[in-house]
Amino acid sequence: MGGKVGPPWNARMCTEESKSQTSKGEGGKMAALASSLIRQKRAVKDDQANRPVASKRKPCPKSNKSLCQKQILVLISKVRLCGGRKGRNDKRPEPQLKGIVTRLYSQHGYYLQMQPDGTVDSTRDESSSFSQFNLIPVGLRIVAIQGAKTGLYLAMNSEGYLYTSEHFTPECRFKESVFENYYVTYSSMLYRQTQSGRSWYIGINRDGQVMKGNRVKKTKGAAHFLPKVIEVAMYKEPSLHELVSEPVSPPRKTVKTSDSPSLKNGQKEAPKAEAS
């Protein structure tokens, strides 16, 4: 009758021990998870504490200015800006033309010169200061011939006479051309022969007299000049003045040429009409 109770009791004890071990393992996992969550929360708090605190912007005080007053202030600020930039734009460089100071040496051995009173003649003296001219380019192969000492411009009128002018006019424009013998000719840009269309040239004859433009031929030595350059210079572009159709006074000074009108009683005779 007396049966053995040992084995069932041992089995019960083993089961309880395994349950207690299982519960201990689950408890350890929960504790590890809780500690990791705590560490993460602490790390987030530390990051927030280390961030620089942004300064709070002060609210702008409410302006009592009307819309009209605000527009006036904007307009004044724009005017100030324009006034500040105005000084820079005022100083604009004037247009500069690259020309030369030269002497015009004729093939007949004379230098063209302009006297202080405006008379244009010739001289053999190479050192004459009145034989210096400013050759100012005013177009493509077009020049203005200005006396370096007098400041007057050389011009040719409708009769072919050379004269000097204080102002730069269309009669002061001359075409500069290089001839076959490398001499240079200067012809009027305004006047030429009516029928043949032949140009009128600046010329000096063998006697050193300045000739009428309609008597000078480009193939003759009277029209050939050799510019002897003294220096290169920069010039301001001359202002072009219009010609007066009926001038009240004659040109400043007409050149005394070989065909110039003679003098009678201190007055010049009118030149005879010539067939072109």
What is the rounded radius of gyration, in angstroms, for the C-alpha atoms of the chain? Answer: 52
- Quick one: tokens of 105? 């040496």
- Is residue 152 within 8 A of residue 168, CB to CB? The reply is no
For residue 177, the model assigns a pLDDT of 95
**Phi, psi dihedral angles at 32 (to 5 degrees):** -65, -40
pLDDT per residue, tens digit, the chain (276 aa), is 455 555 555 555 555 665 566 555 666 677 777 777 787 777 777 766 666 665 666 665 665 656 666 666 666 665 555 555 555 555 666 668 999 999 999 999 999 999 999 999 999 999 999 999 999 999 999 999 999 999 999 999 999 999 999 999 999 999 999 988 899 999 999 999 999 999 999 999 999 999 999 999 999 999 999 999 999 999 999 998 888 764 444 455 455 554 544 333 333 444 444 433
- Is residue 266 within 8 A of residue 215, CB to CB? The reply is no
For residue 45, the model assigns a pLDDT of 72
Question: Helix %, strand %, coil % for the chain, to 5?
Answer: 30, 30, 40
Strand (E) positions, the chain? Answer: 96-106, 111-114, 120-123, 132-139, 142-147, 153-156, 162-165, 173-178, 184-192, 199-201, 225-236, 253-254, 263-264, 267-268
Residues 6+ apart with CB under 8 A from 261: 268, 269, 270, 271
For residue 36, the model assigns a pLDDT of 78
Give the tens place of pLDDT for each residue, 23-64.
556 666 777 777 777 877 777 777 666 666 656 666 656 656
For residue 227, the tally of other CB atoms under 10 A from its CB is 17
For residue 198, the number of C-alpha atoms closer than 13 Å in the C-beta half-sphere is: 11
H helix or E strand, kind and range, residue 170: none
Residue among 130, 125, 133 nearest 202 (CA): 133
- Quick one: tokens of 1? 């009758």
For residue 23, the model assigns a pLDDT of 59
For residue 79, the model assigns a pLDDT of 54
| CATH architecture observed for domain 96-260 | Trefoil (2.80)
Its pTM surpasses 0.85: no
Residues 6+ apart with CB under 8 A from 189: 142, 170, 173, 174, 175
Mean of pLDDT over the chain? 78
For residue 111, the model assigns a pLDDT of 98
For residue 38, the model assigns a pLDDT of 80
For residue 33, the model assigns a pLDDT of 75
